[in-house]
Amino acid sequence: MAVNSKKERRGMWAAAVPMFLLALTCLYPIYFALNNALKDNRGYILDRFGMVSDPNFENFVTAWGRARFSEYFMNSVITTVGAVFVLLLVSSMAGFALAVLRFPHRKLVFVLILGALMIPVQVILVPFYQTIIATGLLNTRTGLIISYTAFFLPFSIYLMTAFYAGIPRDLTEAARIDGARFFQVWWYVMLPMGKPALLTLGILNTLYCWNDVLISLLVLQNERTLMVGITALRGEYTTNVPLLAAGIVLAAAPIVIIYLLFQRHIVAGIAAGAVKG
């Protein structure tokens, strides 16, 4: 967009300043964690806000080994990958069914799923926890994968339904005439065509699952995921802040990398969810 008049330029500046401050509030904690992770405990106590003078990676090694981060990391990877895979699979099928197929009470089913979007996790924690115990899924990765799937599915189905509703009906009909059975229409046509939406959903759900503390805290009580593991680095009376900072950096790194690689899709996905439907 070309900025021509003086008035417009002043307007741009007026908008830029608060945006810059907002960006700073996001970036400073990242800088703080990274900076202090490279200090030792003594260096941190002497100067918590100054730039690190003699960076060392001791904290990362300690966090990874002694604080069992390697185990937590595996738990996080397995539950996140598992949940995202199931989420994409189920939401793509459900989106196909809701957007393309004609079955009785289709709208009611969709409204119920949308309704589930409005229920905060915190409200149903008690029945959720009881269900997890009753089904014997407590302290299992499978339990956590199923829980993530359950909590993030409504939004995923909503997005896929909105996306598939925009695909011309002729395509599925052409596939049926070409000889595709019900399941083949989904596999050969709808699934590959849903790729942009699935990519966005994959990234968003990875962020949600990886960053989750609450659900994981309830389901995996003996084992831990990375985000819960970080809290264990806090002592009752004192906290080794550089070690905690190293843990935070380790936990956040994969997600930041994913975010940087796919940020265009994340924005596109949020916009798709907002406009269609």
Partner 1 sequence: MSNLTLKNLKKSYGAVEVIKGVDLAITPGEFVVFVGPSGCGKSTLLRMIAGLEVVTSGTIEIADRDVTQLEPYDRGIAMVFQSYALYPHMTVAENMGFALRLAGHAKPERRKAVEEAARILQIGHLLDRKPAQLSGGQRQRVAIGRSIVRQPDVFLFDEPLSNLDAELRVQTRIEIARLHQTLDTTMIYVTHDQTEAMTLADRIVVLRGGIIEQVGAPTDLYDDPDNAFVAGFIGSPAMNFLPCVAASANEVTVAGLTIALPQLQTQLRQGESMKMGIRPEHLNGTNGPSVAMKIDVVEQLGATAFVHGMLGGDLPLLVEARAMRPKAGDMINVPFDPQHVFLFDANGDRIR
For residue 220, what is the enclosing H or E element?
A: none
Site string for partner 1, 183-222 (x = CB under 8 A): -x---xx--xx-x---------------------------
Q: Are 137 and 218 in contact (CB under 8 A)?
A: no
Query: What's the alpha-carbon Rg for the chain, to the nearest Å?
Result: 23
Decide whether 68 or 176 has the Cβ nearer to partner 1. Answer: 176
174 binds partner 1 (CB under 8 A): yes
Q: CA torsion sign, 161 to 163 to 165 to 170?
A: negative
Decide whether 137 or 199 has the Cβ nearer to partner 1. Answer: 199
Q: Residue 244 burial (CB < 10 Å; 0-12/13-18/19+)?
A: buried
CB of 179 to partner 1, least distance (A): 4
105 binds partner 1 (CB under 8 A): no
170 binds partner 1 (CB under 8 A): yes
Q: Are 123 and 238 in contact (CB under 8 A)?
A: no
CB proximity list for 185: less than 8 A, separation 6 or greater: 96, 100, 172, 175, 176
- The Cα angle at residue 255 between residues 62 and 55, in degrees rounded to 5: 40
Decide whether 32 or 187 has the Cβ nearer to partner 1. Answer: 187
104 binds partner 1 (CB under 8 A): no
User: Quick one: which of 180, 199, 217, 232 contacts partner 1 (CB under 8 A)?
Assistant: 180
CB of 265 to partner 1, least distance (A): 17
173 binds partner 1 (CB under 8 A): yes
Decide whether 8 or 173 has the Cβ nearer to partner 1. Answer: 173
Q: Which residues bind partner 1 (CB under 8 A)?
A: 168, 170-171, 173-180, 184, 188-189, 192-193, 195
